[in-house]
């Protein structure tokens, strides 16, 4: 595996690869890699000639400075993991390399950024769109791989790819979970052992809500789930929503055969976690 830290060198490399007819798969990450990331990397390895993984903790998508400072950074271990699964290139730029000048770009995603993550984290998706646009230009992938856990981010990026005519396929893979159901996340590394045990209740609340969809009102399901989670020590719910799987807009009622997403964001101690479950009635 070759490690590249300079944007100009990354661009030169992928232009050579494209000229030689190689297909490029890309997995953008912020590091602290886990099995969810590895699933995406293995898929890229199967479907492309070369795979690029980026590791960059992007400052423009954090609206909480403490969250940015405390985000796990494990580059040495991550590099070893990437070597073990035969990743071709690791792109690990610095913030100064990615943002030689302060970014003034502003993206708008309409109703899609006015709910859930967009509502609770103002500016977050502008930062995501900015850095992903930069990475797409530098890596020039044929396929880019993301996980369903970041469901709203995937929807935002689909709109970005379509709106800016990026010539690539965006591939989304199901959420990878621990044996007890907790969605794998780099932020899980920050949980204490007690908080780690409490965090599994997020998935339990999603499962319970899914089992009620066919016979209980949406509002009642949401209120019950929020009350259940808030009653657990160290958990504070930020939102619990039942939304249309395509638009991600909150639903007041559900029609037969409708596919919905149940989404949750909550603080477990000081660590903010998100999860979701797709349900087709």
Q: Which residues are annotated as a binding site?
A: 30-37, 61, 147-150, 153, 176, 184-187
**Burial letters 232-248, b for 16+ CB under 10 A, else e:** bebbebbbbbbbebeeb
Could you list the residues known to form a binding site for beta-alanine, using ranges. 61
Which residues are annotated as catalytic?
37
Give one DSSP letter per residue of 124-163, joined into a string.
HHHHHHHHHHHHHHHH--SEEEEEGGGHHHHHHHHHHHHH
Could you list the residues known to form a binding site for ATP, using ranges. 30-37, 147-150, 176, 184-187
Could you list the residues known to form a binding site for (R)-pantoate, using ranges. 61, 153
E strand spans, the chain: 2-4, 24-29, 50-55, 89-91, 143-147, 169-173, 235-244, 259-268, 271-280
Tokens for 113?
């950024």
∠ CA 75-77-83, nearest 5°, is: 100
Residue that the structure tokens 């890309």 belong to: 26
Q: Is residue 105 exposed (0-12), middle (13-18) or buried (19+ Cβ within 10 Å)?
A: exposed
């Amino acid at each position: 595996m070759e490690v590249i830290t300079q944007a100009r060198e990354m661009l030169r490399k992928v232009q050579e690869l494209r000229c030689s007819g190689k297909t490029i798969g890309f997995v953008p990450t912020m590091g602290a890699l886990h099995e969810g990331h590895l699933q995406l990397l293995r898929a890229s390895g199967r479907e492309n000639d070369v795979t690029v993984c980026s590791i960059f903790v992007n400052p423009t998508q954090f609206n909480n400075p403490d969250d940015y400072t405390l985000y796990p950074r494990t580059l040495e271990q991550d590099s070893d993991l990437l070597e073990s699964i035969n990743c071709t290139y690791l792109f690990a730029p610095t913030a100064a390399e990615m943002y030689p000048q302060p970014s003034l770009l502003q993206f708008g995603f309409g109703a899609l950024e006015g709910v859930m993550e967009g509502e609770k984290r103002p500016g977050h998706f502008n930062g995501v769109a900015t850095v992903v646009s930069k990475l797409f230009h530098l890596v020039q992938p044929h396929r880019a791989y993301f996980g369903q856990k970041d469901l709203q981010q995937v929807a935002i990026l689909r709109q970005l790819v379509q709106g800016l005519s990026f010539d690539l396929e965006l591939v989304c893979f199901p959420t990878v979970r621990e044996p007890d159901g907790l969605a794998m996340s780099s932020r899980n590394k920050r949980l204490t052992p007690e908080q780690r045990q409490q965090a599994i209740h997020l998935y339990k609340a999603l499962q319970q809500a899914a089992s009620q969809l066919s016979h209980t009102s949406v509002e009642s399901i949401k209120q019950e789930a929020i009350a259940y989670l808030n009653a657990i020590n160290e958990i504070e719910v930020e939102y619990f929503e039942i939304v249309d799987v395509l638009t991600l807009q909150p639903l007041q009622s559900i029609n037969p055969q409708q596919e919905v997403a149940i989404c949750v964001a909550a603080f477990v101690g000081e660590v903010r976690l998100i999860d979701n479950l797709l349900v087709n009635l």
